[in-house]
């Protein structure tokens, strides 16, 4: 089957990690008889340099024409002094809103091979895990196209004060909650709404909507937690969580926190999805659905452009490679192929390959510290060796 994938490598380490993910996608295409056609697009700082805009209209238009989008990261010190509306990060907001991807799925699980890279003690992990194992497996569902990042903002005339606004409609809350419930239904059937309802009116609306929506999912346990407590509980007892659903700002912060528990931010993939039925309808009207079912999604590692390590061939490409696996699963329905990538990553870690960020603090016996490209090659080798 033929699929088109928009590649938005972006800035800093973005191009390095996306290049490794593309090699892995190509190997999967060869192995399983698919064709992935790539359309490389500019967004972020590189687009500012070449066009003056973080998200040129042609980039968004071309991305919409593809079946899915794989993004590296945008931003860097070079563009930090630009006014807010011209900064590279505006490209992310524009792509997410333009593609209508409002639910950002950020899985965070501790892989057994990376136990040493997790800063939490075994006994702490065990205490909160219902099966008593020193691990955790949670999913943060972050609302992605509303809230503080999209609300009205500005400065007073004298420049001495500034404001940002958190606004959510019932519809925005309901649709992301339903994404969370769908995810919880195929996991451990627990959903925790994380907010700041003791202070914020918008959070109180989240709770009201959740109280109604939860009635449609009687077999899923719904709980509520304030975000400050959740920040603490994530390091105190991460095993208590299954699915966390939260706002744009809180999800951004909590998922970076969760990434540390998995060993490194270089391990965490993400999928941003919209209303799949609407996406399928769009595809059908453009003739795409005649031969295949695709659901538009935006896939990216949760880390940024890491300017401190850019151009040094030391960035961990696994988050982006795992994002490519999510792309195959959620946008193309290629579950077998997605699992093949995930297994190849696991086998690569089993073989001892580590980028610097996930190296064992104690220096494990079979550990091989490698760079970005070598890690990508190791995943390709593991993929080739699969039966
Ligand atoms: P960052 O995620 O880029 O880096 C935080 C730390 O994690 C750094 O020490 C970095 O070296 C390390 N790190 C990140 N990814 C890594 C990887 N794959 N392998 C190994 N180590 C890795 O966050 P930051 O420093 O706050 O932001 C840098 C720039 O990225 C800023 O311009 C920011 O706005 C932008 N940013 C972009 C995105 C995005 O494109 N989605 C997300 C977050 C930040």
Which single residue is written with the structure tokens 């627990």?
190
pLDDT value at position 293? 80
Residue 224 designated active-site: no
73 pocket-lining for ligand 1 (C-beta < 6 Å): yes
pLDDT digits (tens, 9 = 90+) for 190-222: 999 999 999 999 999 999 999 999 999 999 999
Whether 198 and 249 have beta carbons less than 8 Å apart is answered as no
89 pocket-lining for ligand 1 (C-beta < 6 Å): yes
Given ligand 1 and candidates 248, 268, 305, which is best to mutate, with the most ligand atoms within 8 Å of its CB?
A: 305
Ligand 1: distance of its center to the CA of 270 in Å? 14
**Residues in the chain where the model's pLDDT stays below 70:** 276-292, 363-364
Nearest CA to ligand 1 atom 37: 304
Q: Which pTM value belongs to this model?
A: 0.92
Nearest CA to ligand 1 atom 38: 304
pLDDT value at position 130? 86
Residue 252 designated active-site: yes
Ligand 1: distance of its center to the CA of 308 in Å? 9
Ligand 1: distance of its center to the CA of 274 in Å? 25
Nearest-atom index, ligand 1, CA of 319: 18
Given ligand 1 and candidates 12, 14, 265, which is best to mutate, with the most ligand atoms within 8 Å of its CB?
A: 265
Residue 228 designated active-site: yes
Of 102, 181, 195, 196, which residue is the catalytic one? 196
21 pocket-lining for ligand 1 (C-beta < 6 Å): no
Using H for helix, E for strand and C for coil, what is the string for the chain?
CEEEEEEEEECCCHHHHHHHHHHHHHHHHHHHCCEEEEEECCCCHHHHHHHCCCCCHHHHHHHHHCCEEEEEECCCHHHCCCCHHHCCHHHHHHHHHHHCCCEEEEEEECCHHHHHHCCCCHHHHHHHCCCCCCCCEEEEEEECCCHHHCCCEEECCCCCCEEECCCCCHHHHHHHHHHHHHHHHCCCCEEEEEECCCCCHHHHHHHHHHHHHHHHCCCCEEEEEEHHHHHHHHHHCHHHCCEEEECHHHHHHHHHHHHHHCCCHHHCEEEEECCHHHHHHHHHHCCHHHCCCCCCEEEEECCCCCCCCCCCCCCCCHHHHHHHHHHHHHCCCCHHHHHHHHHHHHHHHHCCEECHHHCCCCCCCCCEECCHHHHHHHHHHHHHCCC
Ligand 1: distance of its center to the CA of 303 in Å? 5
Q: What is the dihedral of CA 150, 215, 188, 101, to 10 degrees?
A: -20
pLDDT value at position 363? 67
Q: Which of 187, 190, 108 is nearest to 142 (CA)?
A: 108
Domains of the chain: 1-103+269-387 (3.40.718.10), 119-261 (3.40.718.10)
């Amino acid at each position: 089957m033929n699929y088109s994938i928009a590649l938005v490598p972006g800035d800093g380490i973005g191009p390095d990690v996306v290049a490794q993910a593309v090699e892995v996608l190509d190997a999967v295409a060869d192995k399983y008889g698919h064709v992935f056609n790539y359309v490389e697009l500019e967004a972020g700082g590189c687009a500012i340099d070449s066009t003056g805009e973080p998200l040129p209209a042609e980039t968004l238009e071309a991305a919409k024409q593809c079946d899915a989008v794989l993004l590296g990261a945008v931003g860097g010190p070079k563009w930090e002094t630009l006014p807010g509306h011209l900064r590279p990060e505006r490209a992310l907001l524009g792509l997410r809103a333009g593609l209508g991807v409002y639910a950002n799925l950020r899985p965070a699980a501790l892989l057994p091979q990376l136990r040493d890279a997790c800063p939490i003690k075994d006994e702490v992990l065990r205490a909160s895990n219902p099966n008593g194992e020193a691990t955790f497996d949670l999913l943060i569902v972050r609302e992605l196209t509303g809230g503080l990042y999209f609300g009205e903002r500005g400065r007073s005339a004298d420049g001495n004060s500034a404001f940002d606004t958190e606004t959510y409609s019932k519809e925005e809350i309901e649709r992301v909650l339903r994404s969370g419930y769908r995810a919880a239904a195929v996991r451990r059937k627990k959903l925790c709404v994380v907010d700041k309802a003791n202070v914020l009116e918008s959070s109180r609306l989240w709770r009201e909507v959740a109280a109604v929506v939860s009635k449609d999912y009687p077999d899923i346990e719904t709980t509520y937690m304030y975000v400050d407590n959740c920040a603490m509980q994530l390091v105190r007892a991460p095993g208590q969580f299954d699915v966390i659903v939260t706002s744009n700002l809180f999800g951004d912060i909590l998922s970076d926190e969760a990434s540390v528990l998995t060993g490194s931010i270089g391990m965490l993939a993400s999928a941003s999805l919209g209303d799949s039925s609407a996406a399928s309808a769009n595809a059908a009207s453009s003739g795409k659905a005649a031969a295949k079912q695709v659901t538009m999604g935006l896939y990216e590692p949760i880390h940024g452009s890491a300017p401190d390590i850019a151009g040094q061939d030391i960035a961990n490409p696994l988050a982006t490679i795992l994002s490519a696996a999510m792309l195959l699963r959620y946008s193309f329905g290629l579950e077998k192929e997605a699992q093949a990538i995930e297994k190849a990553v696991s086998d690569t870690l089993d073989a001892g390959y580590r980028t610097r960020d996930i190296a064992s603090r104690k220096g494990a016996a079979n550990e091989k510290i490698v760079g970005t490209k070598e890690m990508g090659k190791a995943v390709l080798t593991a993929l080739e060796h699969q039966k």
